[in-house]
Every structure is written in C-alpha cells, then in structure tokens.
Chain A
Amino acid sequence: MAATTHDAGTRRDFLYVASGAMGAVGVAAIAWPFVDQMNPSTAALALASTEVDLSTVQPGQQVIVKWRGHPLFVRRRTPAEIASAKAVDVNSLPDPLAYNDNLPDNSPATDANRAIKPEWLILIGVCTHLGCTPTVSTPQMPEGDYGGWLCHCHGSQYDTAGRIRKGPAPRNLQVPPYSFLSATRIKVG
C-alpha cells in the first residue's frame, strides 16, 4: 500500500507542476496581446514621408512643418550662424554624437555631420528633455545664449546646429532621415 501511495504522490506532484507551468505559459501568452495593443498600430507605423518646399524660406528664417506627429524645424542658417556652429570644439559639447539618421550612429557632432547642406538645418523640433518644442532664436529676438533654440519648459539651450549646450536635456536635437529632391525641395522620412 505504501508503495502505491508513494507512486500516486509523485504522479500527482508531476501533474501539479506540469499543469501549473502550462497555466503560467497560457497566462503569459494571453497577457502579451493585452500589453502589445498599447503599442503604435500598423496605421501609425506606416512611415509617412513629407516633402518640404524650401524656396520660400529666407536666410535666418525657420519654418515648422508637421512630420509623424512631431514639429519639424527647417532653418535656413545665415553665414554667421554656420560659422559660430563650426567654431565649437566637439569635445567640449555635453553630447558629442551627431544623432543624424542619415549617418552612422557613432558620428561625432560636428556641424558638417548635423546638416547635409550647411545652409539648411533640418531637425525634429522635440526637446530631448521632456518633449516640448523649443523656441527659435533670432538676432532680433534672442532666445538663450547660443543663438539656436531655447526650450521654455525647463530651460534647455541649443546652439545654431541644434546641439545641446546648457540645461537638463541629455541629447542633441535629432536630425531626421531626409534627402534633397532638388535644390529647393527636400523629402523627409
């Protein structure tokens, strides 16, 4: 009798563990759809691209267009702004990486790596701190100390190449994937 009880016990233990494990796998399998439904849907994932006409943008001016729900900065830089961006030592920057989707990830944040053509700076207008849209600085209405942008939410300051110089933001403004279709037209995305 004792042996039978023992056998029944191990068999029961096995069934307990096996059904418990199966149940856990089942719960995990059914939990995933409920987690993943929160992620962007296929409609949101469909990469939208936007074309921007540059011919109306004057030197020193910035226009903002919408791309994938975010503001996109299109800034036509003056020679003085380009020169001040080039004069900066990359090693002195808080963030030395270019964050340019058109270049390898480890590219340094030189001015040349931030803009395909020096005159045109194309950036995603989302502060890398907490996502506000920074305000552009112009000689007439300066914003911050570096001539680029100032984010009024929490005081991050960017230079004329959109690189973080001061404040809580950890990264340079992102450069989106874009290409020139002609001298006065770009395609973003």
Chain B
Amino acid sequence: MSGPSTYNPKSGFERWLDTRLPLPRLLHDTIHTFPTPRNLNIWYTFGGILTFCLAIQIVTGIVLAMHYVANATLAFDSVESIMRDVNYGWLIRYMHSNGASMFFLAVYIHMFRGLYYGSYKAPRELIWIIGVLIYLLMMATAFFGYVLPWGQMSFWGATVITNLFSAIPVVGNHIATWLWGDFAVGDATLNRFFSLHYLLPFIIAAVVGLHIWALHVPGNNNPLGIDVKSPQDTVPFHPYYTVKDAFYLVLFVIFYALFVFYWPDFFGNPDNYQQANPLVTPPDIVPEWYLLPFYAMLRSIPNKLLGVIVMFGAIATLVFIPWLDTSRVRSCRFRPLMKQFFWAFLVACVLLGYCGGQSVDAARFGIPLVWVARIASIYYYVFFWLIMPIVGLIETPKKLPASIAQSVLGDTAAAPAE
C-alpha cells in the first residue's frame, strides 16, 4: 500500500533538503497522500486520540516533575503544594491524573476495535504485537506514576504489585527486595519508580513510532476486513482522515475536560489523600480501574503462584491472538458466530473489572463475586485458546463484498469514472 513516493519537491530549498534529510517526503507520504480505506468509522479515530493522550501525558508530566519531590517524607506534601500553591498546578495535575484514565479508555476501545475487525490478522501481526508491548509499557508507567503521590493507595498498591514477584519460586523474594532497594517499599523504591516513570513514556513514544511504521507497510485494516484492491477503495489521509480524526478528537477532549473540571477525583481513591503509612493497610486495596480485570483474576484464585501466573498469562495471551484465530475472514461483521462470542468476551471483561473493584467476600443477588470472577476468568482464557481456533474452522462466514468501493458507493462505483 505504501507504494512509490508521490512527493514532488517544489522549491529549491525542498529539493536541497530532499537529497539530504527527506523529512518532508516522509511526512508527505505518511500523513498527506497516504492511501487510506474510504470506509474507516469512528472506532478508527482512536489511534490519533491515543497519540494525543501520550503527548498530553508527556507535556503535563514534565511540568509536574518541575514541582514534585521524589522523597518519602516530602513527596506527599509536594503533591499537595502542586495542588494548592503552584500556579495552575491543580489543573496540570488533574489533566495528568485524568489523562491516564482517558489514555486507558482510548487504548481499550482501540484494542477491542482491533479484535472485532480482525486487525491483528496477517499481514498485521506485528502491528498487534507491538501494540501489546505498548499496552504493557503503559501499565508499567501508570503503576509507577500511581505510586508517586505517596498516599495510602500508592504505598499499598506498590506493596501488593511488587509482592507479585515474590510468588516466583526460589528467587522471588530476592527479586522483590531488588525491586524495593530495601526490605519493604520505601524511599529507595519511590526514587527509582520516579526515574522509571519519567523514562518509560519516551520509550512508549519510540515504540509507537514502530507501531505506525509497521502500520504503513500494509496500510489500515477497515470495518469490512477486506483488502484494498484499487485506488477507488481509498482516499488520501489528508484532508479526509486528518479532519475526521480532528473532529472526534475534539469530542474526546470535551469528554476529558468534563472530568478534569467537574469530576477530577472520579477515578481517584479517597485513601490516596492520606499520606502513606507502612503500619496500616486500608480496608480495601483497589488498583486504578484500568487494571481491575486482571486484579479480579488474581484474587479469584486461592493460590499465590497460580494467581500470579493466571494474571500475567492473561496479558501474554494477547501476543498469540494472530495465530489463535484460524478464520480466513477478518471482520466480525461477516462472522455471525464469532460476533456473539466477541460481545460475550466484552461482557466478561466488564464483569471482571466490576468484581475487581468490590471487596473480596462481596456477593450480589446471593452470588459470591469471587465465583463470578472465576467464571469470567475461565471465559477469558477459553475465548482465546479454544473459541478462537475452533470457531474459525467451523463457522460459515457471510459473503464478503467485492470491494470497499462497491460496499460504500453501491454498484455505481464499478464504473471507473467518478
């Protein structure tokens, strides 16, 4: 799809630059003329939204780091000083903390979209796997960031997550101590987490570069999941998708701003407004909402090592999806059976998230939530490791349209003239 370059340097300076550093050519080919399927819908705008989220997090984060002190006795007060004393500190911090939630909201929509339309299937396996890597890096970054305010949830969240590594036989406790730099979460831990929290977003930015590079080799998938066959199937990225992305980005920013200005603590936890106390664990330790499904898996298994394996396995499973799906058809639009399992999977993920946010022994309608979480966890694994390979083999897909253009424009599009 990334055919021969159509860049045509106009001025003498552009020609001079083009033979030395062809940056204008790169931009021209990737965000200007790049041929993009003409049928991309709203769910395809989240790639651009995610790039925006990353930029917001980096800019607000750099500013916050100018006022934050990574020290166990000073961190909590420095965050309060950002909120009260630093000019517009409250705004920048709320943009950053809510920005993380928006980032994850967008990435989950982006991932479910890829799952629904089969965007992970050949020849886009590496785009998907690089995406999983970005998701992992995002979770690590978010976890480190959540520790920095040094409130009760920060401290105990860090304690629980780092203790996950102590489940590894033989070397587990040494790894935990190595991560802490002490025998418990403390000043040394806070300092290194701050250092890594500052580093990882730039690594994410680099990996996002790979993600986009890999995307520009086969080009975008599309809601029909069929290949681009002729230039009629595509439109240039600019202005068609720059404008579409910008429009939905504005809507997204309005949604984001509602939280920043009206419910800034909606995603937060009141316990984190208490300074970390190593002697008192809050009654319920709850991670940030975007990690709750995995947390529910961990809690639903009454064995430490097994729980940790199941939790990390759930993320590792994502890497194998391109080869677990045996169907020749990409998009669930033409997969009547898979479509139903897909929505059930979405429900299972939401249920897991809900269970993860409740206390361990909670029950709803007389059903212990730990059992709901167990069944949903089983479905999570069954969906990928059994349903995906089997349904792909036994399902009869619906008839695919002849081309994107025909599907979008009707049969008139068969005529080449426009």
Contact = CB atoms under 8 A, between A and B. Distances in A.
Interface of A: 35, 38-41, 44, 64, 66, 68-71, 125-126, 129-135, 151-155, 167-170
B186 A69 contact: yes
Contacts of B417: none
Contacts, number: 95
Given A66-B278, A69-B186, A168 B304 contact: yes
A130 B159 contact: yes
Contact of B182 (A35, A40, A133, A167): A40
7 contacts: A38-B179, A40-B182, A44-B182, A71-B279, A129-B163, A131-B184, A152-B360
B181 A167 contact: no
Interface of B: 156, 159-160, 162-164, 166, 177-186, 188, 192, 278-281, 283-285, 298-299, 301-305, 307, 359-361
A134 B285 CA distance: 12
Given A132-B159, A152-B359, A153-B285, A168 B279 contact: no
Given A70-B278, A168-B307, A40 B302 contact: no
Contacts of A66: 278-279
B285 A132 contact: yes
A147 to B, nearest CB: 17
Contact of B281 (A40, A68, A132): A132
A170 B304 contact: yes
B177 A68 contact: no
Given A130-B160, A130-B163, A168-B301, A39 B181 contact: yes
Nearest to A125: B279
A69 B188 contact: no
A168 to B, nearest CB: 5
Contacts of B180: 40
Contacts of B361: 155
Question: A-B pairs with the 4 shortest C-beta distances?
Answer: A69-B184, A131-B163, A130-B163, A155-B360
